Chain A
Amino acid sequence: MANGESEVGADAPAGGFVQLLTPEGERVDSVTTAEGVTYSVSFTDEEYRELYRDLVTVRRLDAEATALQRQGELGIWASLLGQEAAQVGSGRAMRKQDMAFPTYREHGVLYTRGIDPIMPFGLFRGVDQGGWDPNEYKFNTYTIVIGSQTLHATGYAMGVTMDGRTGGPDGEAVIAYFGDGATSQGEVNEAFVWAGVFNSPMVFFCQNNQYAISEPLERQTRIPLYRRAAGFGFPGVRIDGNDVLASYAVTRSALDNARNGNGPTLIEAYTYRMGAHTSSDDPTRYRIASEVESWKAKDPISRFKAFLTKQQLADDDFFGQVDEDARTLALNLREQVLAMPDPQPISIFDNVYPNGSPLVDAQRKQFADYQAAFEGSAH
C-alpha cells in the first residue's frame, strides 16, 4: 500500500496499517490507503525536534510518577510507557479549539495540550477528586469508568453541531480516547451509533495496546478493531501507534474532516503497553517476555531518534539536553507532588453546584461547627 517498498509495514498486523516512520527510523513519504486516502506530514526541522522532545518528556514524567507510586507517594499510577507516539501525535494534531475526552492514561495528550503535568496528580495521590474545568483546558477530566467518556464526548460533539460551531475550517472537533478493552463496552458501541447517525464532529481514538488489563485482544474481537467502524457507517483507519508521524497525520486529517462537517472517524492506534495496566497489576502473570521484547524493537522514541540522527536533524548535544530538561521537569514534578496539601474535610462541600446552594451552604456551616467542637482535642 505504500510506495512499493517491501520493508515498509513489515511489522504490521494482518491488514496493514498507516506507517510513516518504520521501526528502523526510515521515513515513508506518504501512504495511500485502500480507500484512496493519502496521508503524509511536512514538518520543519525544528518541529521534528520538538516532537522528539515531547516524546522524551512524557516518558520521563511517567517514569517519575511510577517511582513515586512505588515510594508510597501516589495511591496508584496508570503508566503510558510504550504509547507515547499515539498520544503525542494525536495530541499535537488537535487545534486550539478542539476538545479531548481522555481515559486515565492520557498523560501525553494532556501534556501536548499545554497543561501543567501536575494537574491530574491530585487524583492519583488521593488528595482531590481529579476535577478541573474541562472548558478552560479543552480537556475533560480523567475518566476511570471504562468507555463512559465516549458517550460524554459524543453528547458534547452533538452539542457542538447544535451550537453551529462546526462545518468549516475553524470548526470545533472532538476526540475521544479509549482502549481496546473499552470496545467491548456498551457505551462505546452506543457512542458509535449516535456519532454515526448524527454525523457528529468526532474522532474516536482507540489505543489498542493489546491487553484489557490481562485480557488479550483476541478475546475482545474477531476482526481488527478499526473495521468495526464500517458497521456504524463511518470510516475506520488503523495506524502504527508507535509512529508519532502516522498518529499526527491521520488524526489531523480525521479532525479536519470532523470540523468540516464530514462526520466521525475511528482510528485504531496499534501499539503496546510496555508496563503494567496500573501499578496494581503484574503483567508477567499473563504475557510472555518474548512478546514484550518483540515490541521493544518497535519503540516509538528510539525509532524517532534514529530518524533524527540519520537525517542529521539533531546531534548528541541536543539529545543530552532534552534528557536533562526532561529530568529537571520530572524532579520539579516530584517536588510539587510531595508538597500537595492534604485535603480538608470541609472541602467535600466544594464543587457541588456551580453557583452555590443555600442547602449546601447550611450543611457546610453545620459541619464546620461540628468540626470546631473537636478544637483542641486529638480525636
Chain B
Amino acid sequence: MSRIKDFTLPDLGEGLTEGEILTWLVSVGDTIELNQPIVEVETAKAAVEIPAKWGGVVAKIHVEAGTTVEVGAPIVSIDTDPTAGPIPSAESLAAVEIAPEEGAVEPGLIGGPAPGGRTAVLVGYGPKTVTAKRRPRIGTPDTSTTAATPTPPAAARATQPAAVAPAPVAPAPAAPPAPVPAAVLSLKVLAKPPVRKLAKDLGVDLSRLVGSGPLGSVTRADVHAAVAAVDVVVDASAAGASDGFREQRIPIKGVRKLTAANMVASAFTAPHVTEFLTVDITKTMKALERLKARPEFREIRLSPMLFVAKAVLLAIKRHPMVNSSWSGETNEIVIKEYVNLGIAAATERGLIVPNIKDAGLLSMRELAEALNLLVQVARSGKTPPADMANGTFSITNVGVFGIDTGTPILPPGESAILAFGAVRPTPWVHKGKIKIRQVTTLGLSFDHRIIDGELGSKFLRDIGRFLEDPEGALLSWT
C-alpha cells in the first residue's frame, strides 16, 4: 500500500454527483489526525465538514476552494507515514492510489434514477437528477427540453457569497453560467384542476396571474378577469390604430432611455428582494428641530433626509457587505470601503441618481450641505456625469410625493437601495399607550445574490433603530 494516499470526494448524500469545495481547513505541510476536519464541502443537499480519513501530513491539495468537483475526483493527498523520510520516486504523487470509480446504478435502486427526476435514496427525498450536464443526443437536438431544464440547486448556490475570497483558480467544470437562484424560478402556481382546465381552454397562462384565492391560488374569477383584461387591451389598440391624433408620441432618448436601460438591466440581472419597516421617528423629528436651532446649522436647509442618510452611513459601517457590487465577469463580490451615497432626484428630464462621494467621511454639517447642493444642481439640470458614476448605495425619497413606501429597483452596480416614505402623524403604541407619533415606512430592496435575508433585515433594522433614537444610536455606535 502506498504511503501517499489520495482522498477522493465521496458521495456525501445518497446519489450526489458533485460538490463545491467551500473552505480548506488545513494547508499543505500540516500534520493532521484521523477524523480531524480538513475541508468544508457543499453539495446540493448540505454543507458538511469532511474529517480526515487518515492521520499524517497534507502532501497536496488538488482543488482550490470555490471549485466544484465531481464525486470520485481526488481532492487531497495525505502522506500517511511522514516520518519515513523523503518520498521515493516510484511513489510519487502521480502514482497514488485512486479509489475505483463507482459504477452506474440502475433505475429503481438506491442511488439510481427515480420518478420525478429524483434519485432514489434510503431515507427522505433524493436530490433532483442533474440533467443540465447531459450531453445532447446526436441527430436529435431537443432544445425545448434543454431550455426547460431546472437549474441544479448546487450550481445555484455556488453563486452565493459563501466564500468572499479570491476567484477560483480553476473554473468550475460543470457550473452553468450565472444561474438565477432556484427559488426565483420555482414559484409554482396554485390552482384547482377545473381552473387549470378553464385557463387552458381560454388560452390563459396561469403563471402570469396573481391569484386571489386561498394561499394565493388562482381562482376561476382570476382567469375570467385576465381574459377580460386582454380584451380591453385588444380593443384599445384596435381603436388607437385608426385614432392616431389622440395619442402623443415622445421619442425615447436621453435620461428616459438611460433610466429604462438601467432599470431593465438591473431588474433582470439582480434578483431583488424588498423588505419594509415602519418606524416611529418622532425623536428624529425632534432632533431635527434642535439641530436647526444650533448656530452651526444656521442658514442651512435641513430635512429628515439628513438623518436617513446618516443612518444609512452608520448602518453600512456595521454591515459593510451591503455596500458592495456583483462582478459577474470576475466571479467576485466587491465590497467597497468607501460610500458614494446616491440620492434619487426627480428632474424635468427624468430620474437621475447623483451621488455624494465619500459620504462616510463627512461631518453632519458637511453631509447636510452636500445633500442640498446635490438636489440644487440636479434641479438645475446641470449634474455632471461624474456625479452620477460609481454610486455604491442609494436612497430614494418617495415621501416627498406623499407616498408611503415603494419597492425601489437597484441602480446598476449597487446591491441595495432604501426608499424613505412620507412621515405622517399616526396613532402608535408608545410606552404602552396609543399616542400620535411621527411614523414612516422604510423600504429596502437588495440584491439577493449578495445579501441574504438575514443581513438585509439586520441592516434595515439598524436604520430603523437609528431613526427611532438618533442621539442614542450615535452615542452607542460611534
Whether a CB of chain B sits under 8 angstroms from the CB of A67 is yes
Which one of B8, B49, B51, B124 contacts A280 once the chains associate, using CB atoms below 8 Å? B124
State the CA gap A70–B40 with chains docked (Å).
Answer: 11
How would you classify the secondary structure of chain B's contact residues: helix, strand, loop or mixed?
A: loop
B110 touches A280 (CB 8 A): no
A215 to chain B, nearest CB (A): 11
Whether a CB of chain A sits under 8 angstroms from the CB of B121 is yes
A279 touches B13 (CB 8 A): yes
Whether a CB of chain A sits under 8 angstroms from the CB of B46 is yes
Specify the chain B residue showing the minimal Cβ separation from A213. B124
A107 to chain B, nearest CB (A): 15
A72 touches B123 (CB 8 A): no
* Given A279-B13, A280-B13: A75 touches B123 (CB 8 Å cut-off): no
Query: By the criterion of a CB under 8 Å from any partner CB, how many residues of chain B are at the interface?
Result: 23
* Given A67-B51, A281-B46, A282-B46: A76 touches B123 (CB 8 Å cut-off): yes
* Given A72-B8, A72-B11, A75-B14: A144 touches B53 (CB 8 Å cut-off): no
Whether a CB of chain A sits under 8 angstroms from the CB of B122 is yes
A277 touches B35 (CB 8 A): no
B99 touches A72 (CB 8 A): yes
Specify the chain B residue showing the minimal Cβ separation from A338. B53
How would you classify the secondary structure of chain A's contact residues: helix, strand, loop or mixed?
A: loop
Query: Across the interface, which residues of B come within 8 angstroms of A75, CB to CB?
Result: 11, 14, 110-111, 122
Query: Across the interface, which residues of A come within 8 angstroms of B53, CB to CB?
Result: 71-73
* Given A67-B35, A76-B122: A281 touches B11 (CB 8 Å cut-off): no
Specify the chain B residue showing the minimal Cβ separation from A330. B35
Tell me the residues in window 99-152 of chain B with beta carbons closer than 8 Å to chain A beta carbons.
99, 110-111, 121-124
Query: Across the interface, which residues of B come within 8 angstroms of A277, CB to CB?
Result: 123-124
* Given A75-B14, A76-B14, A280-B14: A70 touches B122 (CB 8 Å cut-off): no
Which one of B14, B47, B48 contacts A70 once the chains associate, using CB atoms below 8 Å? B48
Whether a CB of chain A sits under 8 angstroms from the CB of B12 is yes
Query: Across the interface, which residues of B come within 8 angstroms of A239, CB to CB?
Result: none
B301 to chain A, nearest CB (A): 46
A76 to chain B, nearest CB (A): 5
A276 touches B46 (CB 8 A): yes
Specify the chain A residue showing the minimal Cβ separation from B52. A71
Instruction: Give the interface of B toward A (CB within 8 A).
Output: 7-8, 10-14, 35, 45-51, 53, 99, 110-111, 121-124
Instruction: Give the interface of A toward B (CB within 8 A).
Output: 63-64, 67, 69-73, 75-76, 78, 104, 126, 144, 213, 276-282, 284-285
- Not counting A73-B10, A277-B123, a sample of 14 additional A-B residue pairs whose C-beta atoms are within 8 angstroms of each other reads A67-B35, A70-B10, A70-B48, A71-B10, A72-B10, A72-B11, A73-B53, A76-B123, A104-B123, A144-B122, A278-B124, A281-B45, A281-B46, A284-B47
